[in-house]
Each structure stands twice: as C-alpha cells, then as structure tokens.
Structure 1
Amino acid sequence: MYRKKLNLKIVCVFVFVLFINIFFVSCKSANTNKGIIVEKWDNFYEGNNIHFYYSDGKSPNPQQLKTKYSLDKLASTGKDDIDKSLKVSNWLNNQLKFSKNSIKTEEDSLTILEKYKKEEGTVSDREFNQIFTEAISSVGIYARIGEFRVNDAQHSKKDDFFKVSEIWSDKYKKWIMIDVVNSCYMSKSGVPLSAIEILNNGINNIEINGVKDKNKYIKKMERYFYSYTIAIDNNIHDGVKSNSYITYVPKGQLPELKTLKGYIKPTIFVNDYSLFTISPKLQYKDSQNDKTSTLMISKKNTEGKEEENPSFYVAAFKDSVMVKEFYISVNGADFGKVNNIFELKLKEGQNSVRLSENGKDAIREVIVNYKK
C-alpha cells in the first residue's frame, strides 16, 4: 500500500513538472511571435556617397589621455599598428574589469579610468571600445567603434550586441578588427581581417590570434555575427556631424528595427560592404552620384517603455544629406508630400511604406508586421 502511494506521488510530481515545462515552452513560443518584424526591405542603399568623419587624435581629450598614461611610450614598443593596438588593449584590460551587464555611462574616458578601476567596479564593452579608440587615435592610428548584433535581437535570451573596434592599417591598406575586451584579432592565411570579412567568412573558418582557448571563444562569440554597424560620425570631440549609422546585412537577410531593449538608431542598411572599406585618409568629395533616395526609419527614443502602437520617424536621404521634400504612401494610400520628416504610427498587422520622388512612381518599399 505504501509503495502504491509512493508511486502515485512520483507520477503526480512528474506530471506537474511536465505541465510546467510545457507552459514555459508555450509562453516562450508565443512571445517570439510578437514584436516588429520586417517582411520586405526594398530599401538597401546601393551607392558610395557617404561622408564619414574620424578623429585624428589631436583633440584635448585624447591628448590628455596619452599624456597621463604615457601611451606614446607604450605604443612605441609595438612593431606595427596591430601590435601597438594589442599593447593598448592589454593595458586597458589591466586598468579596467569587464562585465557585459555593466550599466553604461556617459562619462569621458579619463573619468571612467579613474572611477572604475578594477577594484572599484566594472565597465561594459561600450566603455572599453570608447577608451581604446581615443587612446589609439592619440598615437596617430585612425580607429572606429563597430557593433555586431545577433539575429532576431528583440527575442534574444541574452544580450543582443557586442562592441569591437577597427583600426586603419597603412601596412595592409584596410580596416582591421580588434576585439578590445578579449585583446585579440583575426586573420585568414596570415592576413588580418576587418569586421565585415570576419562576418562573411564565418568565425569558424578563420584564425583567432591572442586567445588561449579558441573553441571557448568561438562558442561565446559566434551568435553575434548577423549584422555589423558603424557610425558615420566617429569623432566625438569636435561637434556632432551626423547621428546616423551604416549597417551591413548579408544578401538574403533582412534588417531588424527592434532590439532587445529598444530600437535601432537612425540607420542606412546596405548588403554590399564597399562603404566599410573606405580609408579614413581619403578626402571626401561629393560626387552627387546617388541614383535614388533611400528611406531612413528611426525612433525618437531608442530606449524606454514599450508603446501600445509604436511610431517611427520616416525620412529620406540622398548623396549623404537628408532630402527636404519627398512623397510617402502608407498602406497603399495615395502619395502625400512630406517636408523633411514623416511620423509613421504602426497598426497591428502589416504596415507598408513606399517612397516616391515625384509623387507618382514608387522607388522604395518597406513592409513591417507589427504583432502584439
């Protein structure tokens, strides 16, 4: 009799655990069906007329950083730009402790180095790369911060992005990615790789230089390589020239507007990587060669509370400047004239946006499905 009661209890516990697992799986499945999903993106920028901005490292902040921490002396021990970058990266890792979940700070690099020393707190990959790019630019090497992002970011179980840096190498005449947090770089057949080259080759098919356990590194990092983003304005000390970004998404993939904790910043999407190869030393010339305008869709507040019916700002750009006058059609309606910017309020279900330069012919179309 006792054995029968015991068996009955075991069966009840098993059924209860099974029910809980099914409940959580179904909730998870339901949640992944919600959100803002891009279904069509006939809006990839095909031109090369983008004016990028970079720091030459001569502004007061980078120079103060160099003087206080003798960065010129440190970098001088490196045999080339990559070696110098790794020495600066190693120095930075000795100064600060990394934690992905650290709260981001808007403080300057000198303040961060003083306030968040290893024994006094942690900083995220944002701060690591902010300080690195300032430090390396102070010794004469052009640099920029880049961001890898996971697929289906809005439903990611963990964090959905990872920051890295790229340096311009005169030796290789190309951008080379430096993973500042892990003090490593990647190559193929001995040639250092840019962030875009790493994404396109796949992290399993390249050489990883500077880490002890490559398999552990790959397992940790491989989920991030869905898209890659850089800022148009990479000079934070000489006044804001642009608040927009360029994001590369491989051909056959679709952009994403929603992230895990908010929305993307004003972004131009491309599926050709030529913009990412432009030298920072090349003087910009406005060639006026863009064939058509391109839509730019963004949120006023990229982070914050979820909205019942999200709204986006829709603008158009051409030849590296915003278009002052264009035409928009929403959900098949007639084209309406827009001056500078248009507010799009999403309805539940499909939302289509078409762009026209003459008010008659559609040249771009985006379809977004909003699932509550």
Structure 2
Amino acid sequence: MAAEEGQAKILRVVEYDNQDIVVGKYPFLYEDPNTPELAELRENYQLERVVGGGSEFERQVALRCWRATRFVHGIHRPEGMKVNRRMAWNALAYLEAAEQGATFTCPVAAATYVQLCLAMGWQARLVEICQASKEWIPPVEGNVAHCVSEVWSNDYRKWVLMDPDGNVHYARDGVPVSALELHDAWVNHEAEAVEMVQGDPPFRTDGSQQSKTFDVKKEFEIFFRHRVMDYYEEIRTTMRNNHFSRPSYGRDNGTGFLPQVVWTDSSSLPMVMRTGRLRPHVFYSGRREDFEWTLNQAHIELESADDKDPFAITAMLRVNLSTVTPWFSHFEVRLDDGEWRRSAATFVIRLRKGVNRIQARPVNVMGIKGIVSTVAMERDDEEPEWRR
C-alpha cells in the first residue's frame, strides 16, 4: 500500500555524471545572438558548408583552417585602401579587405576566428599571450607577444586553445589543451609532453616588414623556436566578445585597452606595465575558475516533492535544472531510454520500482545541444533484511 501512495523504502543513486558548473569572479559580456552581422557571416561565406560534418571539435578546426585560407600574416594594404578604426573587431570588414588583397597580423586573425565561431553558435574569446618580464620590448626581440583565441568545446567540456594565425592547436595525450594548460606545461618544463597540431594551410607570411629594423626571417625564427610555447608565460583573457553589438573600434573607455583578466602565479608575476605604459582595466587572478569557467552544461538537483515533509522517503521527486549557457533557449530531458523532449527547468517525476535514469542538457538558440548530465536512482520498496 505504501508504494501505491508514492512511498519507497530505499532510494539510492546508482549512476552519477552530473556536471559541476564553474563560475568565475569576473563577468564576461557575450555577443547578442540576434546581431545581424553573425547571420551575414554565416550566410555570405556558407559556413555550414565550410565546416562540413564530423564532431563539433573537428568542425571548429575546419573553420580555423578555412580562416587561414582567407589571408596570410602581414601588413600589406592594396593601393588606395584606407583602414579606418571601424574595421576593428569586425570580421566582415576584415574578410572583405582580404578579398581585395589586404593581409593582417595575429590580432585580426584571432578576432576573425572568434566572430566566425559565434556565427556558428560556438562561444569563443580572445586571448593575448606574452613572454614574461617584458615591461619594455628589448631591441633584440621586436615581437614578444601574440594573439590567439579559445573556443568552448562541448566535446572536451573545456576551453580549447586555437591559434588562428599559425593555424594550430596543441594537445597533450591526444586531448586539446587550453591556454592555461599550455602555460602550465611550459613553466613546469613539460613542453615535450605537448604536441603542436598543424592545420592546413600552415603559417604563411607575405614578407611585409612592420618597420625598417624588422627582419622578417629572424623574427619568425625567434617566434617558432619553442613552438611558440614560451609566449604563454603570461596569459590575458579579454572579457567580452560582443564587439558587433557594442563596437569599441579597438578601444574601451578611450584607454586603448579592452578589459582583461591576467593569470598570475609564482612564475608569472603581475606585469603592471607593457611597452613602457601602465595597463588600465586589467585584473590579476590566480584562480583557475576565472579563466576556465564552464559553459553549456546542465546540472541536476533532486529533492523530495513532498512539501509537507521534505525528509520523507518518497517516490515523488522534484527535478531542478540549472545551467550557464550563453544564448540559452531551453532544456531537453530524457527519462530512461525514451526520446529527448523539451522540458521546463523544474518538474516532478514518480520513480518506478527499479532503476530510473534522468538525463538533461541545455540547447542554445542556434540549436547547439550542450553537455549531458546523468543521474540514475534506484527505488526499492522492500525493507532491508536487518529491519525485517
């Protein structure tokens, strides 16, 4: 009779793959998914066809390789082309200029890739890297910094480093690494454990010189001498990617800098100056969650649906779902071996006798399905032998 009334003798968790949502201290400003430039990028360049099939990560690599075919590294401008500040952080403008023969350096390659990812519904961010102790750039090393990007990977449940200018990513034991993980490998003298995975086409330059003293061959020999890993001594994450909906033209608050969080540890002390200037709008942190916060996960919480007695061992459970998913649309839930169905964030289920499996995932407005969480509960209506 008790079972008929929704009572159970024993409830136990028999499977638990429930994603922990990690939140950093500093806010990140995400692009508006309804920004028309994103649709224009996606449609004008037929990005769905560009990325093809395969896993999400394979598609993200394919997009990076396609970017590398659009312009090489350089500073060439066709005769009569004027570069105005409205081009800053605008992949449409960069790609149009490239079609006319313009070439660009690493910040443009990285910014273009970030916005191409956004056009596909993938969250991405700009990361600046620098060799340590470079308050002043020494004359023997004219280039001590680099711009790359990171894209959130649902496949690997983490931020993954992409170097669009070099058209590479890095992997350790076959798993792509983040910028912070690459930093750790370098400063801990574990660089040999990391593979530099080259895409097609490889890094190319048009040979244009940035100054009279800039020796292109020498500079890139220095740049690639350690597979660029020594540039990851300092990491700076730009805390927004909403440059279409909120253009800054390369500047925030007139300072010339975008708001950034800089990684600090015993090998990467805060660098308060850069190229002889103080650095405003920079926050320093040694907390991994401030750099490797998580996205696109569903977290499942279960509680008794008996509002009168929340401690009752009941077969009626209230399921509460939470997520941090930019551009969130809705949750999908699957019970046992059933089909995935759209779901509210809170609902009540009755556990049947035996094992009951609950799975949940978020979906964004682009239809990108997030990371699945699973909790399985076993209901037993028989008292344990020691209580009989």
Q: Tell me the SS of whatever aligns to 1:82.
A: helix
Deviation, 1:122, is 1.5
Partners of 2:195 and 2:101 in 1: CA distance: 35
Counting only pairs closer than 5 Å after superposition, residues 45-194 of structure 1 correspond to structure 2 as 48-55=24-31, 57-75=33-51, 77-99=52-74, 106-107=86-87, 108-117=90-99, 120-153=101-134, 154-156=136-138, 157-194=141-178
Counting only pairs closer than 5 Å after superposition, residues 215-230 of structure 1 correspond to structure 2 as 217-219=224-226, 221-230=228-237
Deviation, 1:193, is 0.5
* 251-260 vs 268-277, greater mean Cα deviation: 251-260
Partners of 2:239 and 2:169 in 1: CA distance: 23
What do the CA deviations read for 1:317-367 (whole angstroms, capped 9, x no partner)? xxxxxxxxxxxxxxxxxxxxxxxxxxxxxxxxxxxxxxxxxxxxxxxxxxx
Q: Which residue matches 1:305? A: none
What do the CA deviations read for 1:296-316 (whole angstroms, capped 9, x no partner)? xxxxxxxxxxxxxxxxxxxxx
Structure having the larger proportion of residues in helix: 1
Structure 2's unaligned 5+ residue stretches are 1-22, 78-82, 204-220, 253-257, 297-322, 326-388
What TM-score, normalized by structure 2, do the two folds share? 0.54
Question: Which has the larger Rg?
Answer: 2
Runs of 4+ displaced beyond 6 Å: 100-104
What do the CA deviations read for 1:121-162 (whole angstroms, capped 9, x no partner)? 310111111111111111111111101111122133212311
Partners of 1:255 and 1:101 in 2: CA distance: 35
1:206 counterpart (180, 194, 198)? 194
Q: Which residue matches 1:271? A: 286
Partners of 1:104 and 1:162 in 2: CA distance: 22
Partners of 1:143 and 1:56 in 2: CA distance: 13
Deviation, 1:272, is 2.7
Q: Which residue matches 1:25? A: none
Go from structure 1 to structure 2 and tell me whether the alpha carbon gap of 1:161 and 1:60 turns closer, same or farther (over 3 Å shift). same
What TM-score, normalized by structure 1, do the two folds share? 0.57
The count of aligned residue pairs is 236
Q: Is the 8 A contact 1:99 1:122 kept in 2?
A: yes
What do the CA deviations read for 1:257-292 (whole angstroms, capped 9, x no partner)? 2222644341110123221111244539xxxxxxxx
Q: Is the 8 A contact 1:65 1:135 kept in 2?
A: yes
Structure number with the bigger relative contact order (C-alpha 8 A, sep ≥ 6) is: 2
2:243 counterpart (221, 225, 236)? 236
Go from structure 1 to structure 2 and tell me whether the alpha carbon gap of 1:218 and 1:169 turns closer, same or farther (over 3 Å shift). farther
Q: Is the 8 A contact 1:160 1:260 kept in 2?
A: no
Q: Tell me the SS of whatever aligns to 1:269.
A: strand
Go from structure 1 to structure 2 and tell me whether the alpha carbon gap of 1:71 and 1:155 turns closer, same or farther (over 3 Å shift). same
Partners of 2:40 and 2:174 in 1: CA distance: 35
Partners of 2:24 and 2:62 in 1: CA distance: 34
